[in-house]
Amino acid sequence: MMKELTTLGLVGTLAMGSTALFGGSEAGAPPMPAERLEPVVAQDVAATNPTLAEPRTAPLDGMEETQLLDDEEALLFAAAPGGAAAPTVDLSSRIASVVVDDAMQSLITPGVRNGAADFAEFQTGMGGGDAALRVLNGRADAAISTRRATSRERRKGLGEELLGDLIVTLVAHPDNPVTNLSAASLRDVLRGETTDWSDLGGNPGPIRLVLPPAGPQADLFARIAIRGDALAPSATFRTTDEERIQAVRSDARALTVVSYEAARRMNAPTLRVDGVEPSLGGVRTGRYRLGAPIYLIYAAEPKAQRAVDAIRMPEIRKSFANFLTVEQD
């Protein structure tokens, strides 16, 4: 029996980060051979749905495996993502320093900063690169990341804690007769190639997409929803999930992409994909494939444990659950 899902309180909106964080080496720096991680799903599930295991073991950039760098290359990558110097992180304090992948930086609301002030200081605006590598190279105590720790990082003592899953879903007007899309139709619609509801079994009329503005947020949603393709450049753009849901409610021909938690919170009807309703259970079993886990990766140091303690505080987890779906024991 699946555990009960809990939608927790929210503060702020998740403004997603840069494409750079999803992996790959810097220009001119050839990657070392990749190393496969142990799948976190049953073998039969992984075999029938191979993309399920990959988001939990590698960045969402279409790579089949996480690229591993040697220590010198990793330090250079962490110090100068995109050719720009990374901000200096002060590790001398008793307070844990937590770097945040650009995609996740709006999880760090004023409430989170204040609530964790005695335990952790959050560093946002890192300018790209892989936050977890900064932990590996001793430049931070912990990182909030869109990937899990690699086997190499675990051998070097890094730990990880699952914060929750970001589940992406589609919302249409309540009166729209279309309630299900195939994965292929979903891709064509979000890329702007299918433009009329009649092509989806609905009433004739243009599909009016309501999307996040072009940039990091749209990029992350696209990577989860359509695996590496870009969202359609021609659409109505609204920044927050709430704004996009409101826009769809006022337009019978509109369609938007939002987090599952926002849709549940606003009682917005969601579309099935290949006949499967969005849910944490569906994501974990691979039946619903529009989801990605978010992790805290931390060093094997006593001070890093303070970051873990901060993340486990109920008020912090409530804030993080703005967009993340979590399980209740």
**Hunting for tokens 């779906």 — which residue is that?**
325
Max Cα-Cα span within the chain: 63
Domain total of the chain: 2
Q: Are 23 and 65 members of one domain? A: yes
Q: What is the pLDDT of residue 35?
A: 36
Name the 3-class secondary structure at 315. Answer: helix
Instruction: Tell whether 250 and 187 lie within a shared domain.
Output: yes
pLDDT of residue 92: 58
Q: Are residues 29 and 115 in the same domain?
A: yes
Same domain assignment for residues 171 and 216: yes
What pLDDT is attached to residue 265? 92
How high is the pLDDT of residue 297? 95
Distance, in Å, from the CA atom of 7 to the CA atom of 14, rounded to the nearest integer, reads 15
Which stretches of the chain score pLDDT less than 50? 1-87
CB 129 within 8 Å of CB 86: yes
The C-alpha atoms of residue 166 and residue 180 are separated, in whole angstroms, by 21
Q: Which domain holds residue 129?
A: 5-165+292-327
Of 161, 221, 148, give the one whose Cα is nearest residue 190: 221
pLDDT at residue 112, rounded to an integer: 86
Q: What is the pTM of this model?
A: 0.67
Same domain, 28 and 71: yes
Q: What pLDDT score does 215 carry?
A: 74
Q: What is the pLDDT of residue 22?
A: 35
Report long-range pairs for 190-197 (Cβ below 8 Å, ≥24 apart): 190/222, 190/225, 190/226, 190/229, 190/231, 190/232, 190/257, 191/226, 191/229, 191/230, 191/231, 191/232, 192/231, 192/232, 192/233, 192/234, 192/235, 197/253
In this structure, what CATH number is given to the domain that contains residue 89? 3.40.190.10
Q: Do residues 78 and 207 both lie within one domain?
A: no
Strand, coil or helix: what is 99? Answer: strand
Assess contact for 270 and 170: CB atoms under 8 A.
yes
Write down the pLDDT at residue 90.
Answer: 54
Residues 205, 193 within the same domain? yes
What pLDDT shows up at residue 97? Answer: 92
Q: Are residues 98 and 149 in the same domain?
A: yes
Look at residue 79 in the predicted model and tell me its pLDDT: 36
Do 281 and 297 share a structural domain? no
Looking at residue 219, the DSSP 8-state letter turns out to be: H
Q: Can you give the pLDDT at residue 177? A: 97
Cα separation, 260 vs 279, in Å, equals 8
Residues 193 and 159 in one domain: no
Same domain assignment for residues 269 and 171:
yes
Tokens 């142990």 -> residue: 38
Q: Let me know whether 210 and 231 are in one domain.
A: yes
